[in-house]
Each structure stands twice: as C-alpha cells, then as structure tokens.
C-alpha cells in the first residue's frame, strides 16, 4: 500500500468527514433541544446582542460561549422559535473544529512517536490502526459524554484541550520555536474564557510538561513565555469578575458547587437561610409561603428563569469554609463516578489488557513510550481538579481521551505493533460503531424535519398552546415544580417571577390554603400559574389543560397591577 504525506492527509480527511457527517445528523434530529444550562447561555448571548458585551460578565457562566452565540444570533437574526436551531448550527461548527483539531493532534502524536511506533515498517497499516483508534475515542467522548446537541461550552473545552496537546507535541518537535510556546499560552488562556476551571487546569498543565516535557530538547525556560501569555489573556477577565464580586476571584462556579453539593448550604434556587456561619443572604428570593415553599424573584434580573441566569447573585452572602476533610470526602465520592466514566467501555478495558499481553510477549528492556507520560499526567491532573468539587463526565471529554491515548501509547512497541495494530483498529471501530449506526438510521426522519412534516416537539407545542391560552410575549408567569427546563417560556417570550419548589407538595395543599397562596403569587405580577402533569385525582378548580403538551395553566383574571420594582442594589 502506497504511503506518504498525501495518504496521511487523505485518511485523516476521510475520518474527519465521516465524524462531522455522523454528528450533523444528530444535530438535525435534536434541532430544538435546549438543556437548563443552555437556556442561560442562550439568554446571555441574546442580551449581549441587545445591550452590549457587559452582559457577558457573569460570576457563574464564562463569557466566550455566549459571545459566540451572540455572534451567530446577529448573523442569522432568528425568531424565538428558531433561536435554539441557530445555537445548534454553532455547536455543529464547534464540533467540526473539534474534529479537525483532533486530526491535527493525531498527526502531531504520530510524528512524535514515529520511531517508537516503528512507522517505517508497514506504515500505512499502522497509521490507519492508530488514527482510527484515536478517532474512535474522540467520537465516543463527544457522543456519549459531551453530547454535541447539548447547549454547553463542553465541546469548546474539548477543542482547547486537543489544541493544547497538539501544540505541546509541536514544541517537542521544534523546541526552539518561541511562537509555539506563545501559541500554547494563547490556547490555555482562551480555555479559561470558555470555562473557569480551565485556569487551574492550564496552570497545572504547564507544571506537568515542566516535569515531564514532550521532548528531550524542550527548553523549560520558554514555558515562562507560555505562562506569561496565559496570564495576559486571563488577567482582564479576572479583573472584571473581581470588580463585579468585590473580591479577588476568577469565577464563583467552583465555590458555589462546593457549597451546594458538598456542604448542603445555599441551593440552585438561591440562598435565603442556612446554618450558623453560613453567611447573611444579600439578594435572597422572597419567600411567599413556607409549606409548600413558594419563592418570588421578580427583579432585578430579567430573564426567562432568573434564578439560573445568575446563580451567584441569588447566592450572594454565602460563606464557604473549605476543609481538607470536606474535600477528601467529596473526592472519594466523585472518584467512583470518574472511574465508571473512564472504564465505561469494556472494549477499551479488554483491548488494553490484550495490548499489555502482547507487549509482554515482545518485551524489550528499552522502553520507548516516554513521550506519552506528560499526556497521561495531564489527563490525571484535569480529572483531579474536578474531584473535590463535582465530577460530571461531560466536563472531561478531552481528559478521558488523553488518558486512553496515553495508556495505549505507553504499551505500543515497534515489534509488537504488527499484532497490536489489529487490536487498535478493532477497538477504534467498536467505538465508532454506535455513532455510525445511529447516523445510518436517521435520514428518513431528517427528510421529514427538512420538509416541515415532523411533529413539533413538546417545547414548541407548549409555547404555542400557552400563547393560544391568552399569554403574550413579555408576560410574567409562576411555575409549579422543576423549572430549569423552561425552554417553552423562552420561545413564548414569557419570564418566570415565582415558583412553587415541590410539585408533589403543591397538589396536596387544601383548597382554601391553595387559594391564599395563589393570591400571593398573583400579586407578584404573574399572569398565570403553569404546571406540568397535574395529578388526575387532584380537585383543583381553575386549572386548564393546555392542548396536548402536558402543561396545565391557572390563569389569574383580571390581571394584577404590576408590583413595585425591588431595589436592585449594586451589581
């Protein structure tokens, strides 16, 4: 088989095209999917388009992803029904960039290990096997962990991780080129603008390659240039967030998650009370009723769901005192989740075992896998940063990919690779198979969507049916139960100003007490109370089923007078 640079580019281009095409089918199927975090990112982008870049500053959500959303909204100018579809176009572009940079990473990785992998012996077969394996890992982590249709910046984190790794292998290849160190610093700095956790991960990454450089000739003093570039890019955002918070901070999402998940103080719904020493709430949602708990948050933040648009504002005043014992307990808890995510694919586990067995059969004292140690170290460090806070696999697609690439790369031997290449190719195909199989099954439904014959999903039906029930864009509503998935309200132009926290408790309230609470909710300015799936045995007069969406509405008639605006305080 003829082998050369042209063959390498053609094969990587083929893998890249297949990956983009497969995930594009998924994007089209999920064209209106909007997750809770995505609602906040979408509204930050929309508000930035309306009011300027100052709306990108948020102590919980990082600014680069909503800035890109704002750019795409400005390009396409969609109506509310198609806003989410435009964001999915952006996600498709990001994934295409991910896939292209993955091909670049594969090329850099193979060039760095060219002699160690014996690429001069049957190079075409070895190149196909190794590149298919890495692309399989990329598709697996993107499809199952990051889930490209999810409206989050996780695919951008993957992009930053792959680009940084490719830059490092480039440094190992040409250690005297200072611009490559600067490029590494730029990638890590932009990663911080994507997600706050990328700042400590980036700093630790520089420490890892200081200890275990990607090439023997790497000049460690040039890493100072990479660190300085990272600092220059991160400083403006750190300064802006610190001025906003009134203290030195690079973001509050980590601190809030520690409080919510590890200390059980504060909550996603805000901070209004807590144990002694938890702090004094500065901007708590107003409590309209205790049992069931009913919260009002009509101002100063105007968004579809204000509590999740700016969680740091509603949790202001919360004091988080972190102890080593607390962090250790959280790390032990999250380690199980991390282990299950990393080892979720049995084909990877068995493949690694077979690779190790073949390596033992062809054992040589001279070990040639040292150029992959730093990659293993970075994967471990990136995973470890999240363990004491909260681990979710979608945050760490790149780290999991690097762990497996490094683990397999450490076992590859130039003589053993004639047999190991079969394992690598088989594992890569097994990882690609679910994505390709799903893509193969989708064309019929895609044709229905493109022809406008697909049945509207629940979000669009609920928005249209709420408008037909008398609600108009700009109206305030209150909700019963879980309200993070309020995409229907965004499409309908509604904003939530009050919430009954637990739906089960609400339907058990006696009618006289329920009427009293409803009157208090009405006075917040809400035009109606909206609930999903009212229990069939509940005797609740005034509630109306809205079409076939599963939503019920309790209109307040006549509409109440608008309440006095709450004091905003410093923002």
What is d(CA 81, CA 490) in angstroms, rounded to the nearest whole number? Answer: 9
Q: How far is CA 518 from the centre of its chain?
A: 37
What is d(CA 196, CA 23) in angstroms, rounded to the nearest whole number? Answer: 27
pLDDT for 570: 38
What is d(CA 392, CA 511) in angstroms, rounded to the nearest whole number? Answer: 42
DSSP structure class, residue 495: E
Contact 424, 513 (CB under 8 A): no
What is d(CA 82, CA 85) in angstroms, rounded to the nearest whole number? Answer: 5
Q: How many CB atoms lie within 10 A of CB 565?
A: 9
Confidence category of residue 511, pLDDT binned at 50, 70, 90: confident
Burial class (CB in 10 A: 0-12, 13-18, 19+), 158: buried
What is d(CA 300, CA 564) in angstroms, rounded to the nearest whole number? Answer: 11
Q: Which of 18, 11, 17, 16 is nearest to 128 (CA)?
A: 11
pLDDT for 569: 42
Percent of the chain having pLDDT more than 70? 93
Q: For residue 139, what are the contacts with CB-CB under 8 A and spacing of at least 6?
A: 19, 22, 23, 431, 432, 435
- Tell me phi and psi for residue 408, to 5 degrees: -70, -40
Q: Give the three-class secondary structure for 181.
A: helix
Preceding peptide of 300 cis, ω within 30°: yes
What is d(CA 459, CA 42) in angstroms, rounded to the nearest whole number? Answer: 15
The residue among 222 and 104 whose pLDDT is bigger is 104
Average pLDDT of span 399-422: 90
Contact 230, 185 (CB under 8 A): yes
What is d(CA 287, CA 204) in angstroms, rounded to the nearest whole number? Answer: 43
Q: What is the secondary structure of 422-449 as a DSSP string?
A: HHHHHHHHHHHHHHHHHHHT-HHHHHHH
Burial class (CB in 10 A: 0-12, 13-18, 19+), 373: middle
pLDDT in tens, 541-558: 788 888 888 888 999 865
DSSP structure class, residue 82: G
**Angle formed at CA 190 by CA 184 and CA 192, multiple of 5 degrees:** 110
CA distances in angstroms from 419 to 107, 115, 348, 355, listed in the order given: 22, 17, 16, 9
What is d(CA 236, CA 233) in angstroms, rounded to the nearest whole number? Answer: 7
Q: Cα-Cα-Cα-Cα dihedral of 103, 104, 107, 110, to 10°?
A: -90
What is d(CA 433, CA 198) in angstroms, rounded to the nearest whole number? Answer: 31
pLDDT for 368: 61
pLDDT in tens, 138-159: 999 999 999 989 999 999 999 9
Q: What is the secondary structure of 189-244 as a DSSP string?
A: HHHHHH-TTHHHHHHHHHHHHHHS-SSTT--GGGHHHHHHHHHHHHHHHHHHHHHH
Contact 270, 297 (CB under 8 A): yes
Average pLDDT of span 320-343: 89
Q: Which of 233, 280, 219, 245 is nearest to 60 (CA)?
A: 245
Contact 266, 260 (CB under 8 A): yes
Q: Cα-Cα-Cα-Cα dihedral of 378, 383, 386, 388, to 10°?
A: -110
CA distances in angstroms from 409 to 132, 136, 398, 404, 428, listed in the order given: 14, 15, 16, 8, 14
| Residue carrying structure tokens 């080593």 | 324
| Tokens linked to 129 | 């096997």
Confidence category of residue 369, pLDDT binned at 50, 70, 90: low
| Tokens linked to 287 | 């409590």
pLDDT in tens, 456-497: 678 888 899 999 888 999 999 999 999 998 999 999 999 999
DSSP structure class, residue 144: I
For the chain, count helices (H), then strands (E). Answer: 22, 7
pLDDT score of 1 more than 50: no
What is d(CA 491, CA 28) in angstroms, rounded to the nearest whole number? Answer: 19
Average pLDDT of span 238-254: 94
**Angle formed at CA 404 by CA 400 and CA 408, multiple of 5 degrees:** 170
What is d(CA 14, CA 36) in angstroms, rounded to the nearest whole number? Answer: 35
Contact 498, 518 (CB under 8 A): no
List, in sequence order, every residue forming a beta bridge with 169; answer none if it has no partner. Answer: none
Q: Which of 529, 480, 485 is nearest to 506 (CA)?
A: 480
The residue among 448 and 490 whose pLDDT is bigger is 490
CA distances in angstroms from 332 to 216, 384, 389, 390, listed in the order given: 36, 11, 11, 11
| Residue carrying structure tokens 């890590």 | 188
Q: Give the three-class secondary structure for 549.
A: coil
Confidence category of residue 453, pLDDT binned at 50, 70, 90: low
Percent of the chain having pLDDT more than 90? 55
Confidence category of residue 6, pLDDT binned at 50, 70, 90: confident
HSE value, Cβ hemisphere, 13 Å, CA-based, for 539 = 3
């Amino acid at each position: 088989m003829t082998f050369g640079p042209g063959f390498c580019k053609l094969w990587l281009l083929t893998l890249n095209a297949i990956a983009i095409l497969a995930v594009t089918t998924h994007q089209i199927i999920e064209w209106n999917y909007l997750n809770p975090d995505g609602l906040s990112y979408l509204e930050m982008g929309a508000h930035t388009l309306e009011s300027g870049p100052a709306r990108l500053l948020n102590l919980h959500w990082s600014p680069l992803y909503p800035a890109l959303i704002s750019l795409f909204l400005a390009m396409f100018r969609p109506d509310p029904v198609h806003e989410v579809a435009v964001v999915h176009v952006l996600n498709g572009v990001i994934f295409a960039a991910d896939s292209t940079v993955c091909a670049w990473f594969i090329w850099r990785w193979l060039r760095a290990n060219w002699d160690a992998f014996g690429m001069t012996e049957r190079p075409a077969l070895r190149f196909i096997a190794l590149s298919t394996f890495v692309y399989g890992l990329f598709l697996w982590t993107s499809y199952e962990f990051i889930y490209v249709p999810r409206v989050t910046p996780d695919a951008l984190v993957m992009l930053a991780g792959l680009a940084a790794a490719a830059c490092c292998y480039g440094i190992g290849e040409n250690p005297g080129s200072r611009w490559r160190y600067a490029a590494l610093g730029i990638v890590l700095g932009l990663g911080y603008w994507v997600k706050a956790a990328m700042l400590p991960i980036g700093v630790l990454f520089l420490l890892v390659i200081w200890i275990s450089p990607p090439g023997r000739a790497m000049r460690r003093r040039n890493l100072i240039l990479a660190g300085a570039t990272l600092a220059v890019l991160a400083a403006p955002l750190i300064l802006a967030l610190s001025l906003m918070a009134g203290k030195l901070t690079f973001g509050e999402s980590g601190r809030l998650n520690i409080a919510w998940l590890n200390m059980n103080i504060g909550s996603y719904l805000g901070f209004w009370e807590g144990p002694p020493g938890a702090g004094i709430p500065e901007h708590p949602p107003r409590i309209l009723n205790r049992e069931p708990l009913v919260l009002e948050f009509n101002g100063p933040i105007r968004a579809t769901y204000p509590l999740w648009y700016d969680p740091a504002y509603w949790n202001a005043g919360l004091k988080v005192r972190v102890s080593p014992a607390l962090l250790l307990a959280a790390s032990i808890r999250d380690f199980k989740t991390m282990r299950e995510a990393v080892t979720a694919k049995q084909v990877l586990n068995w493949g690694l075992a077979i690779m190790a067995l073949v390596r033992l059969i062809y054992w040589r004292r001279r070990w040639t896998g040292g150029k992959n140690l730093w990659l293993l170290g970075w994967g471990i460090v990136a995973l470890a940063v999240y363990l004491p806070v909260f681990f979710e696999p979608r945050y760490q697609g790149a780290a999991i990919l690097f762990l497996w690439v490094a683990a397999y790369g450490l076992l590859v031997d130039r003589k053993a690779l004639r047999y190991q290449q079969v394992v690598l190719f088989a594992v890569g195909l097994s990882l690609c198979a679910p994505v390709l199989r799903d893509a193969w099954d989708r064309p019929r439904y895609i044709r229905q969507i493109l022809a406008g014959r697909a049945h509207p999903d629940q979000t669009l039906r609920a928005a249209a049916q709420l408008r037909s029930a008398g609600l108009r864009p700009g109206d305030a509503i209150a909700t019963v139960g879980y309200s993070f998935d309020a995409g229907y309200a965004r499409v309908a132009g509604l904003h939530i100003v009050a919430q009954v926290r637990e739906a089960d408790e609400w339907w058990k309230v006696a009618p006289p007490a329920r009427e009293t609470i409803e009157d208090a909710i009405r006075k917040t300015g809400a035009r109606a109370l909206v609930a999903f799936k009212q229990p069939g045995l509940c005797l609740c007069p005034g509630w109306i089923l809205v079409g076939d969406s599963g939503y019920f509405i309790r209109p307040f008639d006549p509409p109440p007078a608008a309440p006095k605006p709450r004091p905003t305080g410093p923002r």
